[in-house]
């Protein structure tokens, strides 16, 4: 029998949330969130790559409480962890994205709302007291796409993230086995024309969309350094290194392994963020050491929603933030600027 979804007292890390969420979610919902593409090799690599990176602590540093603040696109974030765009939150909790937005606000976190939200953007904006970004899939109906990002901008969303790694969906066998689909009781108001696109998305579309809004535009789904350079040439404001949580093309590298190569080619021209496999504060530390400005977490937020709605989301983010602070203290890094490659162990 499922445990009480609102009792969060026994959940002390993000892995605990996944275990409890599996017991509380329908099988259809859990398989959708937890699964990756094909044999899920990349899904596993996203975690294994973080675990393989060793830390090199510095002791007796003169610090009391680390400073996790950063400036991103003109506003200050209290810590470098954002909520990644994930779909269909009403599959996981009756309040869906409203719970996520409330939890993000309680944790002072920026929430990147998915195009596949099951809640209208106006309703999400009404309950959010922290910055919102909007994630976009470019659809065949270009005018609808343009109107959608302009709608987000008019509602006060602070940035647009264009997902560029999904011209088609990946091989998702676990979803196939449960015959995944939205129940008739749920609606995703901005999900039009699902399936393969008839009109390919190109770099010209990125330039066009960038010209349609006056807020920062980021591209999400960059793994190839050459693509990172091309993105900068189109004038984007930021890059999100992502393999879509291992959900699209299996056997691509873990994002933390790709990150240093993207950082080298970008050479500080725009901020670089990354997602994929973040489960511990030490993971955040490692990503920043390798050049990320901030990270995004996706699956753990879905598990947080499933376990306790807004309170679950807030606790997931609070755990990660507190773990990051402890990791900074234990490695002798008082500010985010002090987190660089020397914090990583390099054997002689």
Which residues have a catalytic role annotated? 244
Cα R_g (the chain), whole angstroms: 19
Closest to 240 in 3D by CA, of 273, 271, 267, 288: 273
For residue 115, give the nearest of 51, 178, 162, 71 by alpha carbon: 162
Checking DSSP bridges between strand 160-163 and strand 132-136, what pairing results, if any?
Answer: parallel
- Collapse the DSSP code of 272 into the 3-class scheme (helix H, G, I; strand E, B; otherwise coil) and give the result: strand
The residue ranges of DSSP E strands in 223-292, in sequence order, are 238-241, 272-275
Integer Cα distance of 204 and 212 in angstroms? 13
Rounded to 10°, the helix 281-289/255-266 angle is: 30
Residue found under tokens 């264009």: 162
Give the DSSP H/E element, type plus range, for residue 113: strand 111-113
Q: Which burial class, exposed, middle or buried, applies to 178 when counting CB atoms under 10 A from its CB (0-12, 13-18, 19+)?
A: middle
| Helix, strand, coil percent content, the chain, rounded in steps of 5 | 45, 10, 45
Give the residue among 268, 298, 274 at the shortest CA–CA distance from 223: 274
In 121-240, where does DSSP find H-type helix? 121-127, 142-154, 173-177, 203-212, 225-233
Distance CA 113, CA 152 (A): 10
Q: Is the distance from CB of 63 to CB of 329 less than 8 angstroms?
A: yes
Q: Parallel, antiparallel, or unpaired for β 111-113 and 294-297?
A: unpaired
Among all chains, which residue has been given the structure tokens 């993207």? Answer: 262
């Amino acid at each position: 029998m499922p445990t009480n979804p609102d009792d969060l007292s026994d959940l002390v890390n993000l892995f605990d949330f996944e275990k409890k969420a599996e017991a509380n979610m329908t099988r259809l919902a859990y398989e959708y969130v937890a699964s990756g593409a094909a044999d899920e090799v990349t899904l596993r690599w996203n975690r294994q790559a973080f675990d393989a990176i060793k830390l090199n602590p510095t002791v007796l540093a003169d610090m009391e409480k680390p400073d996790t603040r950063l400036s991103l696109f003109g506003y200050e974030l209290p810590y470098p962890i954002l909520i990644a765009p994930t779909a269909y939150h009403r599959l996981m909790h009756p309040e869906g994205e409203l719970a996520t937005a409330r939890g993000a606000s309680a944790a002072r976190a920026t929430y990147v709302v998915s195009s596949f939200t099951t809640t209208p953007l106006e309703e999400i904006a009404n309950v959010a007291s922290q910055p919102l970004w909007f994630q976009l899939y470019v659809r065949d109906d270009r005018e609808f796409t343009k109107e959608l990002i302009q709608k987000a901008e008019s509602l006060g969303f602070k940035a647009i993230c264009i997902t560029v790694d999904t011209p088609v969906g990946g091989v998702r066998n676990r979803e196939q086995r449960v015959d995944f689909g939205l129940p008739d009781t749920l609606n995703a108001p901005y999900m039009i024309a699902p399936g393969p696109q008839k009109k390919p998305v190109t770099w010209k579309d990125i330039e066009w969309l960038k010209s349609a809004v006056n807020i920062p535009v980021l591209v999400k789904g960059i793994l190839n350094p050459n693509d990172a350079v091309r993105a900068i040439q189109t004038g984007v404001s930021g890059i999100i290194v992502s393999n879509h949580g291992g959900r699209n093309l299996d056997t691509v590298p873990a994002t933390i392994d790709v990150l240093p190569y993207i950082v080298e080619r970008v050479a500080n021209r725009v901020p670089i963020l990354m997602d994929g496999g973040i489960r511990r504060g030490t993971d955040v530390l490692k990503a920043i050491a390798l050049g990320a400005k901030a990270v995004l977490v996706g699956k753990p937020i879905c598990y947080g929603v499933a376990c306790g709605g807004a309170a679950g989301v807030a606790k997931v983010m609070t755990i990660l933030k507190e773990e990051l602070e402890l990791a900074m203290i234990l490695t002798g890094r008082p500010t985010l600027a002090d987190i660089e490659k020397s914090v990583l162990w390099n054997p002689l």
